[in-house]
Amino acid sequence: MSSSISSPPRPEAYVVPHPRRDAYDPAGRLWPGLKAFLMLYRILLVGRIRVTGRNNIPDRPSILVSNHAFVSDAFMLALVFGRVQALAQAESFTLPFFGWLLAHAGQIPVIRGQREKILVRAADQLARGQHVLVYPEGELSHGGDLHEGRTGAAELTFSTGAPLLPVGFYVPPHHGRALRSRHYNRPTLGVWQVGGPCYVAIGEAWWPFAGRKAASLEDLRDVTDEMMVRIETVLDQARCMAG
């Protein structure tokens, strides 16, 4: 699989489909069902999950910030950390059954124009003792270079005091399968892991706003840029694990 592939452009005047109703369950009562689905995917299609840096996971809820190369990345990270509440594109919640399962497992739909609501839900999950997974690139990289980070994770760590935990996730390209189809009323492309191991490197927890009572937009941007550097560092570590 080439890392130079890119997602097809969205049609002009494309309107992102949203779930018909907000079925988000903050308690995530169907998390065991979602985890069973993820375990099945791992058993059938993925080899070993090799992890370094487990000792860096703090004994408190954290904001996991990771690169996002394959569609299936989050599946494996949920198994590594035991449970995560992920911010996921709103379109995923419109999928038959799976979208319903995501919502009732406490995963958080990212809907344009609802930034405050998304951050409030993420903060609530941290207060409940859950790790929250954020992909700061905001889109799939398909195994290519990291995209510029968005500032939501920086805003979340400032407002909650929860640490940022950089995570690098790597799957050798020959174990990725690019699937082109048509979902959400547009052409779609996603790369899924099929066979082989995956490699996860976990960096040191980081409290960028410790002791601070204010943060400007420039501060949020600076923290986000540094966060992306830290993600690149652990991603390189994950790549080195693969040899």
pLDDT in tens, 3-13: 556 666 666 66
Kindly state whether residue 146 falls inside one of the protein's structural domains: yes
Strand partners, 63: 132, 164
Among candidates 77, 76, 83, 73, which has minimal Cα distance to 28?
83
Domain span at residue 45 reads: 31-242
Kindly state whether residue 1 falls inside one of the protein's structural domains: no
Contact 95, 23 (CB under 8 A): no
Q: Please write the tens of the pLDDT for every residue from 93-104.
A: 998 899 999 999
Kindly state whether residue 186 falls inside one of the protein's structural domains: yes
Q: Please write the tens of the pLDDT for every residue from 63-113.
A: 999 999 899 999 999 999 999 999 999 989 998 899 999 999 999 999 889
Kindly state whether residue 214 falls inside one of the protein's structural domains: yes
Contact 93, 19 (CB under 8 A): yes
Q: How many CB atoms lie within 10 A of CB 174?
A: 10
Mean pLDDT value across residues 14-31: 85
Kindly state whether residue 166 falls inside one of the protein's structural domains: yes
> What pLDDT does residue 6 have?
62
Q: Which two tokens stand for residue 142?
A: 């398909």
